[in-house]
Amino acid sequence: MAVRELRKRETWRLVHGTALRLMTERGFDAVSVDDIVAAAGVSRRTFFNYFADKESVVFDPDPDDPALWGELLGARPGGEPLWVSLREVVVGYTGACAERMILQRRVRLASPELAGCSREVADRFWDAVREWAAPRAGVDGFELELVVGAARMILHASCPYWDASAGIGGLHSLVRTGFDTFDWTRHESRTSVGS
C-alpha cells in the first residue's frame, strides 16, 4: 500500500474515532464538526474530504471494509448452504468491526435523534453480499432479494435490542437467533437450480 493511501486511512480513522468518542461523551447534537476537527487536529477541509456530513462520520464504513468483505465472503466453503454462509459472514463482519460497532451503538443510545435514522451502516456491504450470493445461490431477482433482504433485516432488527455493554457477543446471539428463526435452509432445496 502506498504511503499516501496509508496516511488517508490513518486520517479517516483519526477523525472517525475522535468523533465517536466525543459523541459518546456529549451526544450527537452537542458535538459540532468544529469540535471534531479541533479534537482531531485536522482542518474542516480535511473533515469534508473524508465525510459528507456529521452523520457520515458515525456510519460510513472503514476504508478497509471492502477488502474485509471480500475475505469473509471468499472464505465460505462452496457446498455450504447460502443461509449458513450469510449468517457466518454477518457474524464475521460484526466481529471484525466490534469496537467500532460498540461505539456506534453508544452514540445512538446517547443521541435519541439518531435512533430513527434510516441511513444504513453498510449499503455497500449488502451490495457485495448480493453480488457474491447470486451465482452461489443459483437464484436471482426476487428470490435473491428475499434471501439477502432477510439477512439484512435480521441484523437491522437485532441492533436496537443489543446491549453494547455486553460486548459484540450479545449482538451475535441476537443475530444467530434471528437466523435460526428464519432458517432459509429449509426453503433452499426448493430454490436451488435443478430442483
Percent of residues, the chain, with pLDDT higher than 90: 53
pLDDT tens-place string over residues 13-32: 999 999 999 998 888 889 99
Residue 190 has what pLDDT?
Answer: 45
User: Please, what is the average pLDDT of the chain?
Assistant: 86
Contacts with 16 (C-beta within 8 Å, 6 or more apart), sequence order: 57, 60, 62, 100
Contacts of 81 (CB under 8 A, 6+ apart): 184, 185, 188
Q: Please indicate whether residue 92 or residue 118 has the higher confidence score (pLDDT).
A: 92
pLDDT value, residue 192: 43
Distances (CA, A) of 145 to 61, 116, 120, 130, 159: 22, 24, 16, 8, 21
pLDDT at residue 118 above 50? no
Q: What is the pLDDT of residue 109?
A: 81
| pLDDT, tens digit, 9 for 90 and up, residues 44-89 | 999 999 999 988 888 888 899 999 999 999 999 988 988 999 999 9
pLDDT at 193 > cutoff 70: no
- Global pTM reads 0.81
Predicted local distance difference test score (pLDDT) of residue 110: 78
Q: Which residues, 6 or more positions from 159, have their beta carbon under 8 angstroms from its beta carbon?
A: 105, 171
